[in-house]
Amino acid sequence: MQTPSVLIVGAGPTGLVLGLTLAQNGIAIRIVDKLPEFPPGSRGTGLMPRSLEVHKFLGTYEDIKSAGLSGSNFHARMYPIGSGSENYKVSNLSVPLEPADATPITTYVLIGQDTQTEILRSHLAKYGVNVEFGTELVSFEQEADHVAVRLRKSQDGEERGEDVKFQYIVGADGAHSVVRKGLDMTFLGETRASENMSVGDIYVEDGFLEPNKFHIWGEASTQMLAIRSTEIPKKYNFACSGPQFDHNALSSSREALLKAFAQISGRNDIPWGNISWVSHYRPNIRMVDRFSSGRVFVAGDAAHVHSPAGGQGMNSGCLDAFNLGWKLALAVKGFSKENLLESYDAERLPVIATMLQLTTKIHRTMYTAGTAEEGFNRDGNLNQLGVNYRSSAVVVDERSVKAHLSNPYETEPGSVLSAGDRAPDAGGLKDLTKGGDAVHLFDVYRPTHHTVLVFSQESSEARTFLTAATKAAKGAPLLTALIVPPGASDLADINSDRIFVDQKGSAGKSYVIAEHTTVTAVVVRPDGVIGAIALTVGGLEKYFENILL
């Protein structure tokens, strides 16, 4: 068995997305979690479109989509306190987007963390990786070329220690992260002690609460009960808030909780069933001052916690993991320079800082009297399709100026596609290397390789770019794809992994390739982000020189 190179602490969605990214790259890993098993519950349920694209690249999207509930049919019914099931207003929760060639996934999916992690663990098992539950990180010590780790395993009432060395450690171990505390990282922010709530899952027989709805009575500033259906038949997730309630009592007494339900909703007709879990939740709004120190990294809730308003927490952790995973893979394989791993901090910190501002604003609106409905109407940037790294030192753009965009969370309407942006999809491509099959660009983007797209109308110059890309990659995993317009000729002896005919012009449109342009190279990173837009071979070479040894 290969000696594990990376230890992932924490087996929630963030840790598992990172683990699957590394496993697909052939990196030996261990994933440990101090809990004896993954806890039940629908915590952090909304997977936004950008996270779903990540799952598309990882090969887990179809399982996630079939197991979850589509947000396209989901809306909120907002009732006055004590009004029963009458006099409600409707909120769509999010701005509806029509699917397009560049953005085929525009609707969120509701899926509980328990269901999502089960899917991710099943995919990890295909690579021989199983989560080691009941295994706790006790301490770690960094050395020049490794991290010395002390683990403690609990099994059948017995405990035993284990000393082991790893090249890298990633803490995805939640808000009380042992890894973060071991690094003595500052966790800046506040706890909103007066705005706490009781959250959990409860079962209800069919016919009493309309499914595919978010039923909300009252307002969080006074009293609120929010109940929504989940992907599990008859199971509903709830949040109950109000400053007059003793939430410790609500979280420990079924009778007290159901009494609060009836008081807020005015519904005495609902035969409440089993409560599978319940917890007292206090909103925390905090983030670290850095995401790494030496060979140790933090991601997800270990690095940032915030109000659940806006559904950004689990999604941000997913993007943390996907941003870090390919960089760690190249580092373990000995391909990357130090600045590539350093770019994890530089790229994710401004995104998370902006996300905290957005979710805190939504949270404040939800807890301000008379504005609850406004708080549940979310704008389109929460789908995270606009998250970008334009200011990153490791991206190269010879076509546009990055400095015009100050918001790392949303690309401005009408702004030109730039390096650091999410790489768009495009359909209607004819794959000449696969017998003329119809393909999408998303079919070739994977966390296991860079993809170099060479858009060209002139085959001789295209050959120069393709040869330069292969040489510049220096043996690091690379897929090259030549994209030509219909009717292109002289394609014999083209040294490219794939040759696509852009039959409908969708790829050229998605990547803003001008018709008169002779050749443009676009480097798509393994995390589905544009690493470079090059008009010259020199620009293409510069990108790889920035990140590879």
Q: Are 420 and 539 members of one domain? A: yes
Task: Indicate the residue among 256, 282, 308 that finishes a domain.
Answer: 282
Q: Are 378 and 308 members of one domain? A: yes
Distance of CA 495 to the CA centre of its chain: 35
Q: Are 411 and 504 members of one domain? A: yes
Q: Are 161 and 297 members of one domain? A: yes
Q: Are 536 and 476 members of one domain? A: yes
Task: Indicate the residue among 234, 249, 282 that finishes a domain.
Answer: 282
- How far apart are the C-alpha atoms of 222 and 102, rounded to whole Å? 43
Q: Are 61 and 77 members of one domain? A: no
Task: Find the distance separating the first CA and the last CA of the chain, reported in whole Å.
Answer: 28
Q: What is the pLDDT of residue 370?
A: 65
In degrees and rounded to multiples of 5, residue 313 shows phi and psi of -60, -65
- How far apart are the C-alpha atoms of 124 and 119, rounded to whole Å? 9
In sequence order, what are the residues at sequence separation of 6 or more whose Cβ sits closer than 8 angstroms to the Cβ of residue 279? Answer: 198, 199, 200, 251
Q: What is the pLDDT of residue 163?
A: 97
Q: Are 323 and 400 members of one domain? A: no
Work out how many domains the chain is built from and give that number: 3
Q: What is the mean pLDDT of each run of 10 residues along the chain (549 residues)?
A: 90 98 98 93 86 98 96 86 90 78 94 95 98 97 96 88 97 96 92 83 93 89 91 93 89 94 95 94 90 98 88 93 98 96 97 90 76 64 91 91 69 82 97 93 98 91 95 98 91 92 96 87 98 96 97
Rounded (10°) angle between helices 313-332 and 13-24? 30
- How far apart are the C-alpha atoms of 278 and 247, rounded to whole Å? 10
Residue 264 lies in a domain: yes
CA distances from 352 to 91, 151, 288, 344, 376 (A): 27, 30, 10, 12, 21
Residues 93, 98, 102, CA angle at the centre, nearest 5°? 120
Q: What is the pLDDT of residue 367?
A: 75
Ramachandran category for residue 436: left, alpha or beta (phi over 0 → left; psi -120 to 50 → alpha):
left
Q: Whole domain around residue 543: which residue ranges?
A: 396-547
Q: Are 44 and 145 members of one domain? A: yes
Task: Indicate the residue among 282, 301, 327 that finishes a domain.
Answer: 282
Q: Are 505 and 440 members of one domain? A: yes
- How far apart are the C-alpha atoms of 118 and 110, rounded to whole Å? 15
- How far apart are the C-alpha atoms of 261 and 225, rounded to whole Å? 7
State the pTM of this model: 0.96
Q: What is the pLDDT of residue 282?
A: 84
Q: Are 421 and 321 members of one domain? A: no
Distance of CA 465 to the CA centre of its chain: 33
For residue 455, the domain's CATH number is: 3.40.30.10
Q: Are 228 and 99 members of one domain? A: yes
Q: What is the pLDDT of residue 366?
A: 77
Residue 11 lies in a domain: yes
Helix (H) or strand (E) holding 22: helix 13-24
Residue 515 lies in a domain: yes
Q: Are 170 and 23 members of one domain? A: yes
